[in-house]
Amino acid sequence: MSQEIQQFRATLPINEFKQEILKQIQENTFIIITGDTGSGKSTQLPQYLLDDEEFRLNICQKRKKFLEERVEEKEQPKVQGFLSKKLKPFVPEDRINSTDLKIVVTQPRRMAAISMAKRVAFERNQNLGIEVGYSIRFDNSTTNTTQLRYVTDGILVRECLQDKDLTGYDVVILDEAHERSLYTDVLFALVKTAAKRRKGSLKVIITSATLNINIFKNYFEGCPYVKVHGKSFPVEVKYAEHNITQQKRNHDAVNAAIRMHLHEGPGDILVFLPGSEDCEVCRKFCYERLAEVLNSGVEVPSVLLYTLYGSQTSEDQSQVFQRADEHTRKIIFCTNIAETSLTIDNIGFVVDTGYVKQKVYNPRTGMDSLIIQPISKTQAIQRTGRAGRTQAGKCYRLFSKQFYESLSEHTTAEIMRVNLASVMLLLKSMGIDDVVRFEFMEQPTQEAILQSLRQLYLIQAIDEDGQITPMGYEMSRYPLEPSYAKALITSKMMECSNEMSAIVAILSTESIWQRITRVDVDGYQKLQEIQSQHADPAGDHLSLLKIFSEWKQATFNEQFAKDTLLNLRSLKQADNIRQQLQQLVEGTSKKKCSQFYDQDYLYKLFRKQKDSKKWNINESIKLALCSGFYFNTARKMHNGEDTYLMVYPEGTVVDTDPQSVYTVIQQYPETVIFTELGGTSQVRGVMKLISEINIEWVKPYFSNMVKVDLFKLARIEFQQRGRDAVQERRQKKIQEQEKQKDLEQKQKLEKHQLYKARFEQRKKVKM
């Protein structure tokens, strides 16, 4: 067996580059390895290092030197909170003399971490956890002896909180770095600073798909890169003559798929669409079209139609992966999920509509909107590649070559499109104060940073000088958005933390209700009936808690979940998270917190009210929610029942979510708070997850919100020394933007001329 494995390992494309890679790693701190999937880099690279005796001894020596010097320096973190006990500097005594090489490999997805650890353990003929293991949230297979750990990127970020020099590792491999998840972007910055402090005793390897390596090279100071070829087949790309309109998108996609089915050789067809509803609509339409073709007397070879998207049950998803018989072709209508997360074998053809749904965060309004957008070139190439994994393939793009040229080079990194409050709090809790100047690989907008600081200040995670508070330290322990962490900590003080940890856990998962589309009329009506039966006029948060508790009381019954149209997968996940949160809440000291809460208006209110007869636990839960979300207060406008006016920013009008219990029971309270603002129009927000409150509870906080001194908060006066540098960067950015603008203008003009020429030509023909 092991000989077989050795032979297999030798055939992997990366094997040819083994010596070169090892040489570069010896000589450099940072190294980039590019190569497409199938090159074997994720599984082989760490093994090359593990098996290289010289490398191991060399790096252990360097590590020993570094740790001895650091212990002598008695380095302390810059600021220390009195609430958090975990912030003592990490001095791993046993690491000083250890001759074990420790490697960590980060993955953007949990499944990838597990399967790679299993694969490598298998290749080394070992049980999982001895030498090789994985660690993901809620699931850890590693022990003290584990030398190679596959982890999700979020896990390594959490580990950085306790050990910012990453002294527990000798090598960090950031795998699939081109995907640029929020945590990989944070890790780039953390790992870069750690490696510099470690003076050559920490090696950093970044692996990425072949594209956009320049941005990595710039960030890691022109470090060397090794290019490894993958195993893939050529894919022929065809463009449509004209771009499709939104109305005709599904129509054209189905026709393209049918044309391929009738005229092409073997190989399944993958059709990329923006949304799950599009998938269902297309499947239905495809059946109808195929029936029409059949009726017209054309012979149609046997075919199976599937859909594939994230909110399906895993049973529905697994059907797609079952093999059809030799003479039957599969057509799969899918969303972005098939772009990277799920890989289907035997795809020979791809139809690409050129669009995705993407979440965009607007820092000014604090609103998340889900918008249909054109894909990036990188995405188009990725989608195309899905046709060339097992055979030479074809990709039909439902847009013109010009449209492709006009697409942006890369997908906008996540860090550029999310609320940065938790990232900023993370940095502050690690002693990085000057977040405005913090060097990310790609700089988020100043506005986004300032708005997140504002939010952190409003929930007292940082003080008016931008310095992290003990409360902020406490919040950073929780794997939650800071506002949820605040609500949870407050709930401990207000004696309702069991309830709050359940609520927050439910909100951390996808909907606990089954997703039923409007196409399913009966199901949709039934869902609405059940929802109204369980609706609690106290609000969405308490209604969710109620249904969750009922499921728990029914002893986690599967049938109960089915009957009440609940999503069992989300329920189980929510309960898992609830347990984790409860453990964290136990670690929060009520006594120490009271130093803060004794001054707190909401807490005083709680103390005053809690002995009165009218008071019940629901009120406490709502007060705790207010402590994290009071800036999301809205009051009813009387021109339209479900239209509300936010207290801040002034003049912001918001609607009620049609899914909210208040829409279901058709009662709209005077004053509400909400925990999420969303929508699809970017113009007007929709309040999601709403609870009725008493305006008197939050009134004393309103003046805070108006007089936030962002200048002070951002510690701008601390930056005088570095002002020139900032100015220079800003200038450069403006120049780049202008260049980009010019380019776009030029492209627009060219496009216009092209259309004009075509129009003239057609006119001529008609004449």
Residue ranges binding DNA (CB under 7 A): 108-111, 136-137, 152-155, 158, 181-183, 275-277, 309-311, 335-337, 341-342, 356-359, 370, 479-480, 508, 510, 518, 640, 642, 655, 657-659, 678-681, 684, 686, 688
Distances in whole angstroms, Cα of residue 140 to Cα of each of 146, 528, 716: 11, 40, 42
Pair of tokens at residue 337: 């999920």
Give whichever of 256 and 574 is closer to DNA, judged by the CB atom.
574
Buried b (16+ CB within 10 A) or exposed e, 138-159: eeebbeeebbbbbbbbbbbbbb
Question: Minimum Å distance from CB 599 to DNA?
Answer: 28
The answer to whether residues 517 and 527 touch, using CB atoms and an 8 Å cutoff, is no
Distance CA 340, CA 177 (A): 13
Could you tell me the smallest distance in angstroms from the CB atom of residue 586 to DNA?
17
3-state secondary structure (DSSP) of residue 264: coil
Please give the full DSSP string across 527-572, using - where no structure is assigned.
Answer: HHHHHHHH--TTBHHHHHHHHHHHHHHTTT-HHHHHHTTB-HHHHH
Q: How far is the CB of 643 from DNA (least distance, A)?
A: 8
Rounded distance, CA 204 to CA 196, Å?
11
Is residue 90 classed as helix, strand or coil in its secondary structure? coil
- In the sheet where 347-352 sits, what is the strand order? 235-239, 393-397, 347-352, 268-272, 329-334, 303-308
Least distance in Å: CB of 489 to DNA?
A: 15
Which residue, 60 or 172, is less far from DNA as judged by CB? 172
- Tell me 131's DSSP state: S
Least distance from C-beta 382 to DNA, angstroms? 13
Nearer to DNA, 111 or 749 (CB): 111
| Residue 683 Cβ vs DNA, minimum distance, rounded to whole Å | 7
CA 521/CA 516 separation, integer angstroms: 9
Which is closer to DNA, CB of 50 or CB of 574?
574
Task: Give the integer Cα–Cα distance in Å for 607 and 494.
Answer: 8
**Residues 92, 86: Cα–Cα separation, whole Å:** 14
Instruction: Work out how close the CB of 685 gets to DNA at its nearest, in angstroms, rounded to a whole number.
Output: 9
Q: Which is nearer to DNA, 606 or 629 (CB)?
A: 629
Query: Nearest distance from residue 153's CB to DNA, in Å?
Result: 7
Smallest separation, CB 480 to DNA (Å): 6
Least gap, CB of 360 to DNA (angstroms) = 9
Q: Kindly tell me which of 402 and 412 has the beta carbon lying closer to DNA.
A: 412
Please, are residues 342 and 308 in contact by the beta-carbon 8 Å criterion? yes
Nearer to DNA, 150 or 597 (CB): 150
Q: How far is CA 165 from the centre of its chain?
A: 25
The nearest distance, CB 478 to DNA, in angstroms, is: 8
**Shortest Å distance, C-beta 246 to DNA:** 12
- Tokens for 133, please give them: 């293991």
CB of 137 to DNA, least distance (A): 4
Each residue of 388-426: b (16+ CB within 10 Å) or e? Answer: bbeeebbbbbbbbeebbebbeebbebbbbbbbbbbbbbb
Task: Say if CB 542 and CB 611 are below 8 A apart.
Answer: no
Q: Return the number of the residue (367 or 395) whose C-beta is nearest DNA.
A: 367
Inter-CA distances, 436 with 151, 631, 710, 718, Å: 29, 23, 11, 11
DSSP characters over 680-736: SSSSSEEEEEEEE--HHHHHHHHHHHHT--HHHHTTGGGGGGGHHHHHHHHHHHHHH
Residue closer to DNA, measured from CB, 117 or 182: 182
Q: Given the complex with DNA, which of 31 and 574 has the nearer CB atom?
A: 574
CA–CA separation, 498 vs 494, rounded Å?
Answer: 11
CA 436 and chain centroid, separation: 22
Instruction: Report d(CA 125, CA 494) in Å as an integer.
Output: 53
What's the closest the beta carbon of residue 337 comes to DNA, in angstroms?
4
Strand (E) or helix (H) holding 225? strand 225-228
Q: What is the largest CA-CA distance in the chain?
A: 90
CB closer to DNA, 237 vs 441: 441
User: Which is nearer to DNA, 394 or 477 (by Cβ)?
Assistant: 477
Q: How far apart are CA 322 and CA 312, in angstroms?
A: 16
Q: Measured from the CB of residue 308, what is the shortest distance to DNA in angstroms?
A: 8
Task: Return the number of the residue (301 or 658) whose C-beta is nearest DNA.
Answer: 658
Task: Tell me whether residue 124 or residue 569 sits nearer to DNA (CB atom).
Answer: 569
Residue with Cβ nearer DNA (165 or 540):
540
CB 560 within 8 A of CB 521: no
